[in-house]
């Protein structure tokens, strides 16, 4: 074996000993770099006689090419090894147990709303939905609420604008009662032909749950809260029906037959007479305490007229209850704000 073959052998061994592309580049420099062994051999040619220079020069060139070929081969091998290692590291282990997605849950107030809709639905009530940004007409005027009523003040109501052409602007609805008017007007329109012919109109029986807004915030009041409106209008609907509907509803909602209902005289501009509704449990932690759960009353003749109906013929009741309050009672929660803070430590308890 001559010195050139030995050099190729040495290069092959050095290249094979490298584990990374950087190490390989260092090894390459030892042979092919500026001060590398092949380069040194080339420099040595200058001292040789012309004939020898030719053959020796050709041999050195061949040597250089052989080393370059070895280098390319090793580069490829290292790149392949790196790819294999990466594939192995990223390999999917299909035998691992799957990761679970977090399962969400219904908000406790949404649960109450679903219960309310199901119970009233079973009593033949339709469920209606309406805008949260409401017109002054539906929120106040159509509900017989005069211009100087305190509920209309800026202290109580979030106004969106106060410059509408009719003098009353838009506001965040302060209660769900505007839905009485919106729903009844649609109902009357739908049955206009029958009404015009003097035939009896099918009864209006509806609930309208949703968000409402007032300038108010403490442990039992939140600026955004929920209400559920109810309206039942027909030719012969009385307080007796209201009491039986409420009794059925609350007994179902709280899954308790030991529950009594009382009406306490009150005032609302859109009902006459009006009553607050209280309930009391005969057992359990709240035993014997009267709890206010709704406002109600016989719909005022002016409001019936705004529905587009004759108050001499059509009569009925309306109520507005607080699903947030009902949820607090059902689950024994004492601060309303907890429902709207969005803290999962609280909310996940209701899953």
Residue ranges binding ligand PHE (CB under 6 A)? 175, 177, 268, 271, 295-297, 318-320
- Minimum distance from residue 212 beta carbon to ligand PHE (Å): 7
Of 64 and 226, which has the nearer Cβ to ligand PHE? 226
Q: Which is nearer to ligand PHE, 268 or 307 (CB)?
A: 268
CB of 190 to ligand PHE, least distance (A): 23
Looking at the Cβ atoms of 296 and 327, the one nearer to ligand PHE is 296
Q: Coil, strand, or helix at residue 282?
A: coil
Structure tokens at 91: 């390999």
Q: How far is the CB of 295 from ligand PHE (least distance, A)?
A: 3
Query: Which is closer to ligand PHE, CB of 168 or CB of 230?
Result: 230
CB atoms within 10 A of CB 233: 25
The residue ranges of DSSP E strands in the chain, in sequence order, are 126-127, 133-135, 159-161, 170-172, 204-213, 224-234, 259-268, 271-281, 291-299, 315-321
Task: Give the separation between CA 192 and CA 201, rounded to whole angstroms.
Answer: 9
Nearest-approach distance from CB 142 to ligand PHE, in angstroms = 13
Q: Are 320 and 309 in contact (CB under 8 A)?
A: no
Strand order across the beta sheet in which 259-268 lies: 126-127, 204-213, 224-234, 315-321, 291-299, 271-281, 259-268
Nearer to ligand PHE, 262 or 287 (CB): 262
Question: Which residue, 168 or 297, has its beta carbon nearer to ligand PHE?
Answer: 297
Q: How far is the CB of 111 from ligand PHE (least distance, A)?
A: 22
Determine the residue with CB nearest ligand PHE.
320
Residues 6+ apart with CB under 8 A from 248: 119, 123
Question: Please, what is the minimum distance in Å from the beta carbon of residue 255 to ligand PHE?
Answer: 25
Question: Apex CA 344: angle with CA 343 and CA 349, to 5°?
Answer: 120
Cβ-based nearer residue to ligand PHE, 112 or 296: 296
Q: What are the Cα distances from residue 224, in Å, to 214, 230, 299, 337?
A: 7, 20, 26, 10
Q: Nearer to ligand PHE by C-beta: 112 or 139?
A: 139
Cα gap 23→17, rounded to integer Å: 9
Determine the Cα–Cα distance for residues 351 and 347; give it in Å rounded to an integer. 8
Q: How far is the CB of 246 from ligand PHE (least distance, A)?
A: 12
CB of 189 to ligand PHE, least distance (A): 22
Considering only CA atoms, which of 248, 247, 246, 264 is closest in space to residue 317? 246
């Amino acid at each position: 074996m001559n010195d050139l073959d030995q050099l190729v052998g040495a290069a092959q061994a050095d290249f094979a000993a490298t584990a990374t592309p950087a190490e390989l580049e260092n090894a390459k420099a030892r042979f092919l770099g500026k001060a590398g062994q092949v380069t040194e051999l080339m420099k040595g040619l200058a001292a040789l006689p012309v004939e020898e220079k030719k053959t020796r020069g050709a041999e050195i060139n061949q040597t250089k090419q052989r080393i370059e070929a070895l280098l390319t081969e090793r580069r490829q091998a290292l790149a392949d090894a790196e790819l294999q290692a990466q594939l192995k590291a990223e390999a999917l282990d299909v035998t691992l147990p799957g990761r679970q997605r977090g399962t969400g849950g219904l908000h406790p107030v949404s649960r109450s709303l679903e219960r309310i809709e199901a119970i009233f639905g079973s009593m033949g009530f339709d469920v209606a939905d309406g805008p949260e940004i409401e017109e002054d007409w539906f929120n106040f005027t159509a509900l017989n609420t005069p211009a100087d009523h305190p509920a209309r003040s800026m202290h109580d109501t979030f106004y969106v604008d106060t410059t509408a052409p009719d003098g009353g602007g838009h506001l965040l609805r302060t209660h769900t009662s505007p839905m009485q008017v919106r729903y009844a007007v649609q109902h009357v329109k739908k049955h206009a032909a029958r009404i015009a012919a003097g035939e009896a109109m099918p009864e209006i029986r509806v609930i309208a749950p949703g968000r409402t807004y007032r300038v108010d915030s403490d442990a039992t009041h939140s600026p955004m809260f929920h209400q559920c409106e109810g309206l039942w209008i027909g030719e012969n609907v009385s307080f007796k029906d209201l009491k039986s509907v409420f009794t059925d509803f609350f007994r179902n909602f709280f899954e308790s037959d030991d529950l009594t209902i009382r009406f306490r005289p009150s005032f609302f501009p859109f009902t006459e007479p009006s009553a607050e509704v209280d309930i009391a449990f005969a057992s359990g932690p709240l035993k014997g305490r009267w709890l206010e759960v709704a406002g109600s009353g016989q719909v005022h003749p002016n409001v019936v007229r705004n529905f587009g109906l004759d108050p001499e013929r059509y009569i009925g009741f309306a109520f507005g209850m607080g699903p947030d309050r009902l949820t607090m009672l059902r689950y024994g929660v004492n601060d309303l704000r907890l429902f709207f803070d969005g803290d999962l430590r609280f909310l996940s308890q209701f899953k």
